[in-house]
C-alpha cells in the first residue's frame, strides 16, 4: 500500500521499495500505464517534483524519498454545475462513488440545455466544496438503472481507472429481476452485441457485434409471480448488456419495455449493487455497497451486503 498525503495542490508519495530503482517515466508508463499525451503534459509542465525540486524523469528513484505530483489545480468547468442531491458511497481526493437514482442520465448529451444529469450534480457538489475541477465518469449507467457509479476527480486518476476498467480490474455486481424461472441457476451468457438498425437506441445480439460476456447466479425465486432475482457481473461493458442478454435467452428484465419486459415496474429492475476496485494511488481495496433506492423497492428481501 502506498503512503500518500495531499499537500495543497500537490500529492506527496513516499517512494516504496518496489519502486526503488525505477524512474518517474517508469511509474507513469509502466506502473500507472498513463497515456502518452497525459504523461507528456506532466513532464513538460513540470508537474512532478522530488523533495520540492524539479525531478529528472530518467534518474532512478530511491526508496523513502518524497515524490510530489501536481494533481489538484483549478480547471474551468466543462460541464455546467447544476444542483441535485447526491448520495455518496465513498470519497477521497481522487475518486468519488455515488449511488445513482433512477430517471437521470449519467452525463449530458448537450452541455447547454441538458443540465439535469449526474455529472452536472457532481460539478455543483465539487464547486460547493471549493474544488474547481472537472470530474470524469469512469463508466456509466443507463438512465433508469440505479446503483454504484465511479467518478475520477482528476485526469491522472481517470486515466488509471480507465485502464483498470479496460483490463477488467474493476468489478461491478448487479442485481436484476427477470421474468420467468431460470432452469440454469448459474451460468454465463456470451453473445456479441451490436446496434439494432431498426431502432435508434436499442441493441441486439448480432454476430457482427462486440464481444459481450455476462455471468449470472440466481439469488431468489418468486414462483407465484414467476420472477427471478439474479446477481450478474460483467467481463465487458456494452450498452444495455444485461438487458439485451437476458431478453435474448427469453427472460427480459421486469419493467424493461424496450426489450420485452412487462410493465410491472416504472423502470427496468436493474441495480448496480456492488463496486470493487483497487484505489489508483493508495492501492487499498475499495468495496462499495449501494442500498436500494426505489420506494417501494423491487428487490424485496435482498441484502446487498450478501452479494
Residue 219: CATH number of its domain: 3.30.2350.10
CATH number at residue 54: 3.10.290.10
* Catalytic residue check, 142: yes
Query: Is 8 part of a structural domain of the chain?
Result: yes
- Cell, residue 121: 450534480
- pLDDT score, position 300: 87
Query: Given the DSSP bridges, would you call strands 88-91 and 95-100 parallel, antiparallel or unpaired?
Result: antiparallel
| 37, 70, 103 - which closes a domain | 70
Query: Is 134 part of a structural domain of the chain?
Result: no
Radius of gyration of the chain (CA): 22
Count how many domains the chain has: 2
**Across-strand partners of 186?**
217
Query: Is 112 part of a structural domain of the chain?
Result: no
- pLDDT score, position 261: 97
- pLDDT score, position 196: 93
- pLDDT score, position 269: 97
- Cell, residue 184: 440454469
Query: Is 9 part of a structural domain of the chain?
Result: yes
Residue 243 lies in domain: 172-272
Q: Considering 26, 142, 196, 266, which one is annotated as catalytic?
A: 142
- pLDDT score, position 5: 93
- pLDDT score, position 83: 96
- pLDDT score, position 296: 83
- pLDDT score, position 295: 82
List of the chain residues with pLDDT < 70: none
Amino acid at each position: 500500500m502506498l503512503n500518500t498525503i495531499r499537500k495543497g495542490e500537490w500529492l506527496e508519495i513516499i517512494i516504496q521499495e518496489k519502486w526503488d530503482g525505477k524512474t518517474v517515466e517508469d511509474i507513469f508508463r509502466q506502473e500507472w500505464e498513463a497515456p502518452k499525451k497525459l504523461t507528456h503534459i506532466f513532464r513538460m509542465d513540470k508537474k512532478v517534483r522530488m523533495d520540492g525540486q524539479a525531478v529528472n524523469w530518467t534518474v532512478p528513484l530511491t526508496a523513502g524519498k518524497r515524490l510530489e505530483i501536481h494533481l489538484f489545480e483549478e480547471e474551468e468547468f466543462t460541464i455546467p454545475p447544476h444542483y441535485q442531491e447526491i448520495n455518496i458511497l465513498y470519497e477521497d481526493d481522487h475518486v468519488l462513488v455515488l449511488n445513482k437514482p433512477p430517471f437521470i442520465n449519467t452525463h449530458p448529451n448537450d452541455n447547454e440545455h441538458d443540465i439535469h444529469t449526474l455529472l452536472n450534480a457532481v460539478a455543483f457538489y465539487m464547486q460547493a466544496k471549493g474544488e474547481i475541477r472537472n470530474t470524469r465518469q469512469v463508466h456509466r449507467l443507463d438512465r433508469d438503472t440505479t446503483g454504484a457509479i465511479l467518478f475520477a476527480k482528476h485526469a491522472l486518476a481517470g486515466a488509471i481507472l480507465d485502464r483498470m476498467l479496460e483490463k477488467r480490474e474493476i468489478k461491478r455486481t448487479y442485481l436484476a429481476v427477470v421474468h420467468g424461472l431460470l432452469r440454469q441457476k448459474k451460468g454465463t451468457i456470451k453473445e456479441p452485441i451490436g446496434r439494432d438498425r431498426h431502432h435508434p437506441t436499442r441493441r441486439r445480439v448480432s454476430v457482427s457485434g462486440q464481444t459481450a460476456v455476462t455471468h449470472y447466479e440466481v439469488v431468489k425465486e418468486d414462483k407465484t409471480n414467476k420472477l427471478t432475482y439474479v446477481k450478474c457481473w460483467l467481463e465487458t461493458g456494452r450498452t444495455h448488456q444485461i438487458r439485451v442478454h437476458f431478453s435474448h435467452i427469453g427472460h427480459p428484465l421486469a419493467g424493461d419495455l424496450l426489450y420485452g419486459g412487462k410493465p410491472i415496474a416504472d423502470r427496468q429492475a436493474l441495480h448496480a449493487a456492488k463496486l470493487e476496485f483497487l484505489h489508483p494511488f493508495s492501492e487499498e481495496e475499495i468495496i462499495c455497497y449501494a442500498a436500494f433506492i426505489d420506494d417501494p423497492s423491487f428487490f424485496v428481501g435482498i441484502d446487498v451486503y450478501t452479494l
